[in-house]
Amino acid sequence: MKQVRKAIIPAAGLGTRFLPATKALAKEMLPIVDKPTIQFIVEEARQSGIEDIVVVDGKNKRSIEDHFDSNPELEDNLRSKHKDEMLKLVEETTDINIYFIRQSHPRGLGDAVLTARAFIGDEPFVVMLGDDLNNINGNGNPLTKELITSYQETGASTLAVMRVPHEDTAKYGVINPSAEVKPGLYNVTNFVEKPDPKDAPSDLAIIGRYVFTPEIFDVLENTKPGKGNEIQLTDAINTLNKTQRVFAHEYKGDRYDTGNKFGWLETNIEYGLNHPQTKDELREYIKTLGVKLAAEDKAKKK
Ligand code: G1P
């Protein structure tokens, strides 16, 4: 069996939910405390044994390329001032095999994945979506590693799911599980992109991590635009599942959705509560704020 060595990170979205911040800045560069979201994804890939990463980007994404490039002026400056810790942080981001492909006419997530076909070739690979973070404080397993381990056992395409509140199904691809073949690993009857809660076949939502066999590319070539008139990865997965099993692996660890304002704030707080430079002050601040807000709520009720 071929090893999973390569990852695709689609990053061509416009980031409209974060305007005006994302007018000139790539949304993947929005920081969680001091680290751009895309750097968490790259770190997860490397912790999972991925060797080569391709980012499929679009307009206004130069900041991502610059982030993973060297910055000799900054490095020389830090070196001359003996700021070794900072220098290490800067150098860490360049010591990565990362490549960039431009998706000139964004036609959806499925199309972004297809754009990277020549880079992947005839190998299994992972897809990692930039808004979805997991295990940010390193207390558990990186989700991508769990998926690759599962792939090594089954040789089949496998994606990650998690239970979400039923009213949220319209935000996700949702699976219709048929049998739990072993704890947390499901056979799936069909995959549906963003169903209305009334039509959702389950509460198990796709959470932005996938391992694919290369056959997904042939399917994507023939996938017609679906929901939102975009080429949906979920539709291609549904088709692939008819000729080749696609499993769903349920993730039980911590997951954060940084693609919306509240989720982004929440992730910052959770990460900030573990960050050596912010954790003590932030903890005290949240405690004081809690007391203040409780008093305000009490006063309102009177
Ligand atoms: C994409 C996928 C969807 C998946 C979601 C996870 O949607 O199309 O199936 O559940 O990512 O975050 P998006 O959030 O890009 O609209």
Set out the domains of the chain in order of their start, with CATH numbers: 6-259 (3.90.550.10), 261-302 (no CATH)
d(CA 38, CA 172): 20
Burial 135-161 (b: 16+ CB within 10 A, else e): bbeeeebbbbbbbbbbbeebebbbbbb
Q: pLDDT tens digits for the chain (302 residues)?
A: 889 999 999 998 888 899 999 888 899 999 999 999 999 999 999 999 999 999 999 877 889 998 988 888 988 998 999 999 888 888 887 777 999 999 888 789 999 999 999 999 999 999 999 889 999 988 888 999 999 999 999 999 999 999 999 999 999 999 999 999 999 999 999 999 999 999 999 999 999 999 999 999 999 999 999 999 999 999 999 999 999 999 999 999 889 999 899 999 999 999 999 999 999 999 999 999 999 999 999 999 87
User: Residue 217: CB within 6 Å of ligand 1?
Assistant: no
Task: Compute CA 97 distance to the chain's CA centroid, rounded to the nearest angstrom.
Answer: 18
CB count in 10 Å sphere of residue 114: 22
How far apart are the CA of 129 and the centre of ligand 1, in A? 8
Q: Which amino acid, 250?
A: E
Q: Which DSSP string corresponds to 252-290?
A: -S-EEETTSHHHHHHHHHHHHTT-TTTHHHHHHHHHHHH
Looking at residue 221, its pLDDT comes to 97
Phi, psi of 93 (to 5 degrees): -80, -5
User: Residue 132: CB within 6 Å of ligand 1?
Assistant: yes
User: Residue 206: CB within 6 Å of ligand 1?
Assistant: yes
Q: CA-based diameter of the chain, in Å?
A: 68
Is residue 258 within 8 A of residue 13, CB to CB? The reply is no
How far apart are the CA of 69 and the centre of ligand 1, in A? 28
Residue nearest to atom 11 of ligand 1 (CA): 208
User: Residue 169: CB within 6 Å of ligand 1?
Assistant: no
Residue nearest to atom 9 of ligand 1 (CA): 173
Q: Which atom of ligand 1 is nearest to the CA of 13?
A: 15
User: Residue 129: CB within 6 Å of ligand 1?
Assistant: yes
Looking at residue 14, its pLDDT comes to 81
Mutate to test the pocket of ligand 1, among 127, 172, 193 (most ligand atoms within 8 A of CB): 172
Q: Is 82 left (phi over 0), alpha (psi -120 to 50) or beta?
A: left
CB count in 10 Å sphere of residue 215: 14
Looking at residue 190, its pLDDT comes to 96
Look up residue 279 and give its two tokens: 């954790």
Looking at residue 117, its pLDDT comes to 96
